[in-house]
Amino acid sequence: MSRILITSALPYINGIKHLGNLVGSQLPADLYARFQRARGNEVMFICATDEHGTPAELAAAKTGEEVAAYCARMHEVQADLARGFGLSFDHFGRSSSPQNHALTQHFAGKLYEAGLIEEVSEKQVYSIADGRFLPDRYIEGTCPNCGYENARGDQCENCTKQLDPTDLINPRSQISGSTDLEVRETKHLFLKQSAMRDKLNDWIDSKSDWPVLTTSIAKKWLNDGDGLQDRGITRDLDWGIPVKRGDEDWPGMEGKVFYVWFDAPIEYIAATAEWAEATKGGDTAWERWWRTDKGADDVRYVQFMGKDNVPFHTLGFPATIMGSNEPWKLVDYIKSFNYLNYDGGQFSTSQGRGVFMDQALDILPADYWRWWLLRHAPESSDSEFTWEHFQSSVNKDLADVLGNFVSRVTKFCRSKFGEEVPSGGDLGEAETALIADLTARIRTYEKHMDAIEVRKAAQELRAIWAVGNEYLQEAAPWSVFKEDPDRAAAIIRLMLNLIRVYAVLSAPFIPTAAAKMLSGMNTMDTGWPDDVKAALSVLPEGHAFTVPDVLFAKISDEEREGWQAEFAGKRA
């Protein structure tokens, strides 16, 4: 049994996320976690809401709530939606937790002791109208690199270039919209990432199995221009983790907080500590996942994220961990994703364009969305959601292939043999060939899942469903029954067992439908089909079952057209 630590990039607390956010980190991480658990491995799957920084303050201001109250409320909203989509986190934490406060301050102290933090006087944008310094995300303007007009002061979402607020052209305050800004001097702490460049470069070079998307982004940040830059890790904000060196105050840093991108990745560790407290696993139970001197040396650590998060996870967070000179677990594999676009454009909260997680669950059960999103995950390039494509995939994959198979087998058996696994008959050459085909395909499916090749895994799973349909059509038990009932019984007995196997294989993708299939087969046996022949005889003769409800209803043209109009938003 292996031990696997899985973390998904933390969703910002400021509102409900759209389907592109979901497929960019949390959903594929859940797929991998469910698969590894099904194979008998010990899994710790961690995520949390990212609650500090400008987005939280701005969102709270719009609702008229105190920031802490807003974050507490939105954490519950996001946790509820995660449950709705079947995301199987072992713990869904909060970056504002006491554990993250303590760990962030601890890391800052260790980095200071290692000589990797320095105090820098820098020029920062001050808003006359707002009467305050504006941290990077409080400022918008035109990106000097690509000309995008709504670039933030820390990074351009369009070209992903790292920015400083003073780089922006025609900057404006996010708070008031004022352009009455001036540059004033203030002091902040900087993490000396440049001192870690060679160490980070060697570490990244050692990860020869990482996706090209991950390593190319990391290398770009390491080598572009003057190379890896030192990074400010404090901000002039009220909401955040107060700047301290461990338990000690930091002279000159009074009233400042740590930058959200410094504390957010540390929450992966802190959320595991939150889990230990919540489950009463003991104060140090989390350390066996994170401290290599406490047992984490045999852990495989896998991170999931969108491509915009890659620089902070390949450079900033590793620099923090390495620079502490403590035995913390470093990531082994980073699975990064491109963007999911929406119907010829981009998802847009402000324009009401696209489908968001709460809206999706109001329309259809989670498995419909899980299947399409994972089947078309933006791995090698950006992908696009269209309603026509969604309708086609649901109808052809889920309804026509898997759902139809389950319905035909169970209803035929009920009509001819009753609601129990029939007895009699033997398997022949066709069944031997089927088992061989299924065995080869299941091994391929496992290989893709282990490699986190999401689209290939989905494609192979669909092919496994199709094999059963093809066999059923050729074996034609409805015709055989007239002349040889025992032969028909043997065919249907095999197919009822195949429904159980399909449920086990499909559970990482469509867990609710898989549970219905198992319930219909009246079994809790989720044993993985390592031996496919044995797996196809788990349900014995005489075992009772029930005909499941329709697994997947087809999407009509009228429904698709209505949703397409409803979520079109205002096109730019």
Binding residues: 143, 146, 156, 159, 349
Flag whether pLDDT at 380 surpasses 80: yes
Single out the residue of 107, 109, 108, 8 nearest to residue 50, CA to CA.
8
Q: 188 pairs with which residues across the strands? A: 120
- What token pair was written down for 363? 């329309």
How far apart are alpha carbons 413 and 406 in whole angstroms? 11
Within 477-521, residue ranges assigned H as helices are 477-483, 485-506, 511-520
Tell me the C-alpha distance between 316 and 303, whole Å: 14
To 10 degrees, what angle do helices 98-113 and 260-278 make? 130
For 62-106, write each residue's pLDDT tens digit: 899 999 999 999 999 999 999 999 999 999 999 999 999 999 999
Per-residue pLDDT tens digits for 159-209: 888 888 888 999 999 888 899 998 888 899 999 999 999 999 999 999 999
Q: What is the pLDDT of residue 134?
A: 83
Q: What are phi and psi of 172, to 5 degrees?
A: -145, 155
**Separation CA 95–CA 81 (nearest Å):** 18
pLDDT digits (tens, 9 = 90+) for 493-506: 999 999 999 999 99
Element (H, E) at 26: none
Mean pLDDT of the chain: 94
Does 571 have pLDDT greater than 70? Answer: no
The residue-averaged pLDDT of 221-230 equals 83
- Asked if 261 contacts 241 with a C-beta cutoff of 8 angstroms, the reply is no
Would you state the pLDDT for residue 162? 81
Q: Is the distance from CB of 81 to CB of 21 less than 8 angstroms? A: no
Confirm whether 114-232 and 386-535 share one CATH topology: no
Residue 242, beta-bridge partner list? 257
Architecture of domain 3-111+260-376: 3-Layer(aba) Sandwich (3.40)
H-run or E-run covering 139: strand 139-142
Q: Please report the pLDDT score of residue 428 as a whole number.
A: 92
Across 549-572, average pLDDT? 87
Percentage of the chain lying above the pLDDT 70 cut: 99
Decide the pairing of beta strands 42-49 and 3-8.
parallel
Q: Mind spelling out the 3-state secondary structure of 323-340?
A: HCCCCECCCCEEEEECCE
Helix (H, G, I), strand (E, B) or coil at 432: helix
Q: Is the pLDDT reported for residue 225 higher than 80? A: no
Positive or negative, the CA dihedral 175, 179, 180, 181 is positive
- Residues at the binding site for Zn(2+) are 143, 146, 156, 159
Q: With cut-offs at 50, 70 and 90, classify the pLDDT of residue 570.
A: low
Stretch 382-410: mean pLDDT, rounded?
A: 97
Model pLDDT, residue 106: 98
pLDDT beyond 60 at 572: no
**Whether domain 386-535 has CATH 3.20.20.370:** no
- Judged on CB neighbours under 10 Å (0-12, 13-18, 19+), 455 is middle
pLDDT, one tens digit per residue, over 120-137 is 998 888 889 888 788 777
The CATH number of the structural domain formed by 114-232 is: 2.170.220.10
pLDDT tens-digit readout, 443-458: 999 999 999 999 999 9
Domain boundaries, the chain: 3-111+260-376, 114-232, 386-535
Binding-site members for ATP are 349
Q: Could you read off the pLDDT of 289-322 as tens digits, one per residue?
A: 999 999 999 999 999 999 999 999 999 999 999 9
